[in-house]
């Protein structure tokens, strides 16, 4: 396990992901655009399906700090992951990326190393009622395109307080003020 990132010149860009393999979803079809120049697409085209998988990530370490995610997320990871010794507190700095040893991981936690510039895939899984997952989250007057005449609504097109406001464009106190332009103390002309 030692030497995964070490103290090499590029070590500070490394991100260590802590979690476990996610079996709730299976990657069957990626839908890869064969003409894409996207770095992730290029990497996936060259990889065998067993070289990448999904993992539920609970936390990560970066720049010597450990960050616990507020809610676990599913990420695309590369390789099988590195098992971490559970309960010992003796995991090397090269592995964890943090300089404390009092905290321990559960027995089945693995670690995946990636770079901060890598392109990835994140899948947020939420469980709840359709009302809370979809209806409450997505229904609103701003995205309801069948509930009324949208194109004629004054709050969408031609709002007087958005376009052509007299206090934004052409304000008399910003352009051509008589007390700034034409003052006798600025231009030498005399006021009448």
User: 13-66: per-residue pLDDT in tens?
Assistant: 789 999 999 988 887 776 777 777 778 878 887 888 888 999 999 999 888 888
pLDDT in tens, 112-143: 998 888 889 999 888 899 999 889 888 877 77
Mean pLDDT to the nearest integer, 88-107: 63
pTM over 0.75: no
Higher per-residue pLDDT: 105 or 186? 105
What are the structure tokens assigned to 168, written together?
């934004």
Confidence label for 107 from pLDDT (cuts 50, 70 and 90): confident
What does the pLDDT read at residue 154? Answer: 47
Give the Cα separation of 184 and 101 in Å (integer). 76
What does the pLDDT read at residue 3? Answer: 42
**H or E segment and range at residue 65:** strand 65-78
């Amino acid at each position: 396990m030692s030497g995964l990132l070490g103290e090499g010149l590029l070590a500070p860009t490394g991100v260590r992901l802590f979690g476990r393999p996610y079996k709730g979803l299976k990657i069957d079809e990626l839908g890869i655009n064969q003409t894409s120049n996207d770095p992730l697409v290029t990497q996936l085209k060259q990889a065998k399906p067993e070289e990448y998988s999904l993992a539920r990530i609970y936390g990560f370490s970066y720049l010597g700090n450990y960050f616990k995610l507020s809610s676990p997320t599913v990420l695309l990871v590369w390789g099988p992951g590195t098992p971490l010794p559970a309960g010992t507190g003796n995991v090397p700095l090269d592995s964890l990326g943090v300089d404390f040893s009092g905290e321990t991981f559960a027995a089945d936690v693995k670690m995946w190393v990636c770079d901060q510039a890598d392109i990835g895939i994140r899948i947020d899984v939420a469980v709840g009622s359709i009302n809370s997952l979809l209806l409450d989250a997505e229904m609103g007057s701003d995205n309801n395109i069948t509930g009324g005449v949208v194109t004629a609504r004054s709050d969408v097109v031609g709002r007087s307080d958005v376009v052509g406001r007299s206090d934004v464009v052409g304000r008399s106190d910003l352009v051509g003020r008589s007390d700034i332009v034409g003052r006798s103390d600025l231009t030498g002309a005399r006021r009448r």
